[in-house]
Amino acid sequence: MSGFAPITVRHPQPFDIVDDPVDVCGIGTGFEATINARVRDAVGHELARTHISAGLGNGALGNFAAEVALGTVPATAQGTLEVFEPSAEDGSDLHLVVVPITFGRALVDPYGGFLQYTVVAGDTLSKIARQFYGDANRWHRIFEANRHQIQDPDVIFPGQVLRVPQ
């Protein structure tokens, strides 16, 4: 029988489009009931970090929720949320959980969520961008919002459901 991991991130889920602040929640425990959350851009630059209380400090797992305020529009659309326990011994990352995320404000600022669009025959990202943004050259917004399912911006298929940032 397997037990629970020392840290489990329930939100955001992998590849979610996040806003600023980045909301994070889950269950966990850490030394003196403390864990950390940090956000990095696609090249590894730390954009923000916060301390979170989780559990009772005696190994009990507890719910946690926090906001990680970025304060600026990230330079890349892709990034990661990292939640971990800092080692009391040397400060290294213990029980590190890495969640790939997409920064909404890097796509559209201000970011107000996304619409779902089902691809039909003959669609291209440029055509979809023209429909939603009035400018075919903004296709990259849709591409970046859907990097988890589109590897080549020239290859989309009917029935595929895309996120269109608003």
CATH for 37: 2.60.40.2550
Boundary of a domain, candidates 59, 83, 106: 106
Q: Which of 106, 126, 144 marks a domain boundary? A: 106
Phi, psi dihedrals of residue 140, rounded to the nearest 5°? -60, -30
pLDDT in the model for residue 30? 75
Q: Where are the alpha helices (DSSP H) in the chain?
A: 104-107, 125-133, 139-145
Q: Are residues 30 and 57 in the same domain?
A: yes
The last residue of a domain, from among 55, 78, 106 = 106
Is there a domain that residue 140 lies in? yes
83 shares a domain with 12? yes
In a domain, 148, yes or no: yes
In which domain, by residue range, is 131 found?
113-165
Task: Examine the domain organization and report whether 143 and 101 are in the same domain.
Answer: no
Does a structural domain hold residue 2? no
Residue 14 domain flag: yes
**Is residue 160 a part of any domain in this protein?**
yes
- Residue 41 has what pLDDT? 98
For residue 19, what pLDDT is reported? 96
> Looking at this protein, which amino acid is placed at residue 28?
G
Alpha-carbon distances, residue 80 vs 113, 115, 143, 158 (angstroms): 19, 23, 18, 30
Same domain assignment for residues 75 and 125: no
29 with 91, same domain: the answer is yes
Q: Per the structure, how many domains does the chain have? A: 2
Indicate whether 120 and 39 sit together in one domain: no
Mean pLDDT by runs of 10 across the 166 residues of the chain is: 83 98 92 88 97 81 94 96 93 95 97 97 98 98 97 97 98
Whether residues 102 and 120 share a domain: the answer is no
Look up the pTM and report it. Answer: 0.92
pLDDT at position 1 is: 43
CATH number at residue 129: 3.10.350.10
Quick one: 96 and 19 in the same domain?
A: yes
Same domain membership, residue 76 and residue 36:
yes
How many angstroms separate the Cα of 137 from the Cα of each of 101, 116, 143, 144?
A: 23, 19, 12, 13
